[in-house]
Amino acid sequence: MSERRIDYLPEDIREKLIHDPRVAEQDLRVDVTEHRVMLGGNVATPQLRETITDVARELLPGYEIVNETSVVPARWRGARSVIRIAAVGDLHYGAGSHDILRPSLQHLPDRADLLLLAGDLTRCGGTEEVRVLADDLRGLPIPMVAVLGNHDYHGDREDEVRRVLEGVGVTVLEGEAVALDIDGARIGIAGTKGFGGGFRGAHASDFGEPEMKAFVSHTKMLSDRLEQVLTDLEADLRIALLHYSPIETTLEGERLEIYPFLGSYLLAQAVDNAGADLILHGHAHHGTEKGRTPAGIPVRNVAQPVIRHAYNVYTLDARRDLMPAAAGGIS
């Protein structure tokens, strides 16, 4: 092959790729050496990335094809390159909690694009308790999404707790999802309180007494619902917002005897089956911040006693890479 042919080959191959009906992708780069073709740029889906490799092999059967394209959804092409997610759980607001969080929220709109609350927002689920939190959140000019925790259910007034939060603009999820358009990207959040049951090799089963069957069945029902709403959620980035933990790793530091009451492997299984980019939870005050599901999805325990700040900010970029957290507010 002549040097002149090599000089002209990159643009020639690029034109054939972007005009191939199986590809039709404009944002491609092609670099060619004597034995290798390097593909770069952005593509809309993982499937398209594989197709481009196959088509390039057809066009150049004697070359090694190295595909280094990044999967960036089309709607992100003109959007800001990162989404900043502020998150905290286990605030345990009560009558004396006035203005505990508000000073730290004053600068939140400059630091984050949305605020996610991972349950246990009150001490005992009283409406007077949640009204104190609602006063601190009132007027915050970014989207707010929450799930409730076991403390929020304790007073059997969870419907009232939800209404108070919704009254100041918080979207409260239980087996539901919401999609938010943020600066050109669609961010989907699927939320559930979750429940206990334990983890592989040491988990409860729905066998025996009715009380045990009911315990495990509740976790299964919530996990199944989470999987379904995540599966149906159309978004560029998808986040699972929980209270109970889906994995053991973020419980490390808690006593092993109480693991079955802190979370369930069924929650991780649900998210792994449906797919997500990030899981946030609380509940484990003595746990660890970071972990991953068996499928590799990042998990973050954002219980305030763990992160030791008013909130942490987690940044996802257009490649769905999770950047190190930045602490926000005061301890």
For residue 21, pLDDT over 80 is answered with no
What pLDDT sits at residue 59? 81
The rounded distance, in Å, linking the Cα atoms of 265 and 24 is 41
Given a contact cutoff of 8 angstroms between Cβ atoms, the answer to whether 188 and 177 are in contact is yes
What's the pLDDT at 300?
98
At residue 147, the pLDDT reads 98
Average confidence (pLDDT) over 158-172: 98
| 3-71 matches 76-328 in fold | no
Over residues 95-123, the pLDDT tens digits come to 888 877 888 998 899 999 999 999 999 99
**116 residue type, one letter:** L
Residue boundaries of the structural domains of the chain? 3-71, 76-328
The mean pLDDT value of the chain amounts to: 89
Kindly state the percentage of the chain with pLDDT values over 90: 63
Q: What is the rounded average pLDDT of the residues 8-18?
A: 66
For residue 132, is pLDDT > 90? yes
For 3-71, CATH number? Answer: 3.30.1340
Distance CA 169, CA 40 (A): 42
For the domain made up of 76-328, the CATH class stated in words is alpha beta
Whether residue 219 is predicted with pLDDT greater than 70 in this model: the reply is yes
CA distances, 78 to each of 72, 183, 318 (Å)? 11, 9, 11
User: Is residue 2 over pLDDT 60?
Assistant: no
Is the pLDDT assigned to residue 167 strictly greater than 90? yes
State how far the Cα of 206 lies from the Cα of 29, in Å rounded to an integer: 55
When pLDDT is averaged across residues 34-39 and rounded to a whole number, the result is 82
Most confident region among 71-80, 142-151, 319-328 by mean pLDDT: 142-151
Q: Rounded to the nearest 5°, which phi and psi values hold at 158?
A: -60, -30
The HSE-up count of residue 253 (CA atoms within 13 Å, CB side) is 14
Mean pLDDT value of segment 14-27: 70
Q: How large is the C-alpha radius of gyration of the chain? A: 23
Which backbone phi and psi does 313 adopt, to 5 degrees? -110, 120
Tokens 């092993």 -> residue? 256
